[in-house]
Amino acid sequence: MEYHKIETMFDRDEKFNVIETKLRNPVYGTIKTWRVSEKLDGTNIRVYLTAEGETKIRGRSDNADIKGDLIDWIQKRMSIEKMKEVLWRPNKEGVIEPVEVVMYGEGLGAGIQSGGHYLKEKEFVLFDVLVGGKWWLDYDVVMKIAGSFGIKHAPDLGIMTLEEIVEKVKSGMPSVFAKENTGIDIESEGIVARPVETLYDKRMNRVIIKIKSVDFRHK
């Protein structure tokens, strides 16, 4: 499954500027606290463990090209055996029920978008996990999965209100990921925010939003 589009927090006017007084979805205003992570600027990668026990690596689309050294990096750290060990957990009866799991992340590193500012070598950086084609895992679990594979995840920026999120982006937000991994000071791409516990709207779309730094650069 290709990764879904993440909606912006605010509506936009005819010049594509954000309208701070108008949330794109009214449900956002009913959620008191959000789990916030840094939005990274790389290439979208999907790593599958199918219900049949096979693995697949795909880009944003099934036909997208992926750098060979990035594929090698993923395969060395995420073998079939390791993926089954980490992603397939026993049920209450102790029985392992095979299920499709898709790990979504950014391919980062030299030669990929702004990836050279983040990492010198190409890596897969986890930011989301989908189980059984419909269940999105809470970010605490996503981070634990990254740790189990010994790979990086999008930086966790903590729990905030909508007002705190907007203020953080407006104030000029440096990239935590770039600073930690290369020592380079660059502006963050923005943030991604999701409810602390996964929520769905009336149309069963997952509630998850983004704010880009560029939208507030001249405000």
Q: Divide the 219 residues of the chain into consecutive groups of 10 and give the mean pLDDT of each group.
A: 92 90 92 96 96 95 92 96 93 88 95 82 96 94 97 98 94 93 93 93 89 80
Identical fold, 7-40+156-216 and 43-149: no
What pLDDT was estimated at residue 115? 65
Asked whether 155 and 38 are in contact (CB, 8 A), the reply is: yes
CA distances in angstroms from 164 to 42, 159, 167, listed in the order given? 26, 9, 5
Q: What CATH number belongs to 43-149?
A: 3.30.470.30
DSSP 8-state assignment for residue 75: H
Separation between Cα atoms, residue 41 and residue 175, nearest integer Å:
11
CA distances in angstroms from 4 to 70, 153, 204, 206, 219, listed in the order given? 22, 19, 13, 10, 29
Strand duo 156-160 + 34-39: pairing: antiparallel
What pLDDT was estimated at residue 111? 85
Domain range annotation of the chain: 7-40+156-216, 43-149
The residues facing 128 across adjacent strands are 104
What pLDDT was estimated at residue 218? 56
What pLDDT was estimated at residue 69? 94
What pLDDT was estimated at residue 1? 85
**Residue 87 CB-half CA count within 13 A:** 29
- What's the pLDDT tens digit per position in 156-208? 999 999 999 999 999 989 999 999 999 999 999 999 999 998 898 888 889 99
Neighbours of 160 (CB within 10 A): 17
The CATH number for 7-40+156-216, chosen from 3.40.50.2020, 3.30.1490.70, 3.40.50.300, 3.40.228.10, is 3.30.1490.70
What pLDDT was estimated at residue 149? 97
Quick one: tokens of 215?
A: 């939208």
The residues facing 63 across adjacent strands are none
